[in-house]
Amino acid sequence: MKELFKLFDRIIQRVNINLRELSFDATPYVNELIRLEHMLKFYAFYGITPNHPLSFEFQHSSLAGSYFLGKCRTTNSILYKSDIRGDELKKRGDVLRYKDFEIQMTKDEMIDIEDSILIKTLVHNYSHDPETMEKFFIHNTVSTQYANIHGSPTDGCFVGPFATVDLTTQTDCIIGAYSYIQAGEISHLNIDPGTIWVRAADQFNFLYRFPAAALRRYIHFEAGQPPRGIFMEFVESRKADFQRIFDVVHIEASVPVPNTASLDRYAVVRPKTRINENVLVAQRAYLENSWMGKGANAQENCYIINSRLEGNNVTAHGAKIIEADLGQNVFVGFNSFLHGKPDCRLSIGPDSIIMPHTIIDIDRPLSIPAGRLVWGLVTDAASFEANSMSLAEFSKLERPTSKGDMCFEGQGAAFVQAFRDRIQHILEANGAFYDGEQNRGHAQKNQNISFNTIQPYPKGRLEGLYPTILIKP
């Protein structure tokens, strides 16, 4: 495994060079996350469909357990159980509008991963940077467990566990555990754990920080230690449920699936789960004893347990919903943790928005009214009032406002409308509104994916690395 160890050291060195101005050393954080000898235990796999552009280039990399869909180039990188989804990449001839510019694509967009380590990381969507419309790059970067790099070109960064960088170009930044950043463009920043920052230039700026002591219960990450806390315990306790679906070549769906819905081959669906029309269940999603109403979706790394989603619900990447009832059109953002109990269920009214990286963890029943915006840490009725506002009331904000640990400035109406527009786009892209003829989306297009596996060198100097592989149409 000599070459694999050399590659590991090379990547860490490049990341440390990029982060030298922040005096950050990635080495003690990464050494405890993966054992390189485990890179031999898992195959990598890619999907082929008539609806997604096919072009893969794998060079001098290790890809254990990782999944690829759409165009991707991976060079000098180590990917471990990561999902690289390029199913919404831009195509040659597309015209993108950015402020007063109309930018025409001269070639198909490509995901380009180089000199990076991605550990159980989701990479999804296309570049939103007008300077790099044709290349969604991730270079000189380490990203750790259950992080999301979503439409965010990245160079020289360290992304902590359960963190999300969304629609943001980041250069030479450290993103703390469980932080959510959607800020357009950032550079040379060290973001504290549990920071929720949503900014649109000249329109609005939303900022919330989890109390550090409270966040430690859920996720804690320090040098020389693997990530710890309730989040890690939750996902680790269900690892065995995923083992079978990766060990078996052919597997039948465990529940009926309508012909307008899509259940991914690499999702876990336990008994007493109902999947209705236009539902999308993505790879590595976990469903148990739950009702998925028409047009609902469960994206990658989502867990929905003992819950009912009435329909047109968005459960974004990494979100977890346990012992809860959600009305129609409820949005649950990235990596949120909604945790009711059998004897104290959580109820969320229709048309509500649970912001990314929200924790609702209750010991008494909680009913959230319709049309509510919720953020931060909610454990009871009092903290709910401190960390929520009706969407109608939030839309009226026009001056700097503080509520609890949240600060907002700008136009509340623009903030709410931005969320609503994005939710509508997600539902459309996922095929929630398919009527049998029009509005096809991922729920319909992903029904017939051919999965193919690739393996590393089993022995010798290149043990653990994959041969150079080019897969073209």
Q: 416 and 308, same structural domain?
A: yes
- Residue 233 in domain: no
Q: 122 and 105, same structural domain?
A: yes
SS3 416: helix
Total domain count for the chain? 2
Q: 399 and 359, same structural domain?
A: yes
SS3 30: helix
Q: 259 and 194, same structural domain?
A: no
Q: 291 and 213, same structural domain?
A: no
- Which residue is listed with tokens 């101005």? 21
Cβ pair 194, 215 in contact under 8 A: yes
Cβ pair 421, 434 in contact under 8 A: no
CA 464 – CA 458 distance, rounded (Å): 6
Q: 167 and 104, same structural domain?
A: yes
- Residue 271 in domain: yes
Task: Indicate the pTM of the whole model.
Answer: 0.97
Q: 272 and 202, same structural domain?
A: no
CA 300 – CA 283 distance, rounded (Å): 6
Q: 154 and 301, same structural domain?
A: no
- Residue 232 in domain: no
**What is residue 126's predicted lDDT score, i.e. its pLDDT?**
81
Q: 210 and 73, same structural domain?
A: yes
- Residue 212 in domain: yes
Q: 200 and 285, same structural domain?
A: no
- Residue 104 in domain: yes
**58 token code pair:** 């794998």
- Residue 126 in domain: yes
Cβ pair 431, 443 in contact under 8 A: yes
**153 token code pair:** 């070109």
> 150: which strand partners?
124, 166
Q: 342 and 373, same structural domain?
A: yes
- Provide the residue-wise pLDDT of the chain in tens; the chain has 473 residues: 899 999 999 999 999 999 999 999 999 999 888 888 888 889 999 999 888 888 999 999 999 999 999 999 999 999 999 999 998 899 899 988 888 888 888 999 999 999 999 999 999 978 888 888 899 999 999 999 999 999 999 999 999 999 999 999 999 999 999 999 999 999 999 999 999 999 999 999 999 999 999 999 999 999 999 999 999 999 999 999 998 888 877 778 889 999 999 999 999 999 899 999 999 999 999 999 999 999 999 999 999 999 999 999 999 999 999 999 999 999 999 999 999 999 999 999 999 999 999 999 999 999 999 999 999 999 999 999 999 999 999 999 999 999 999 999 999 999 999 999 999 999 999 999 999 999 999 999 988 899 999 999 999 999 999 999 999 98
- Residue 222 in domain: yes
**What is residue 471's predicted lDDT score, i.e. its pLDDT?**
96
* CB-based burial, 392-416: b 16+ in 10 Å, e otherwise: eebbebeeeeebebbebbbbbbebb
Q: Which domain holds residue 42?
A: 2-227+449-471
CATH of the domain at 57: 2.160.10.10
Q: 349 and 278, same structural domain?
A: yes
CA 283 – CA 265 distance, rounded (Å): 7
- Residue 384 in domain: yes
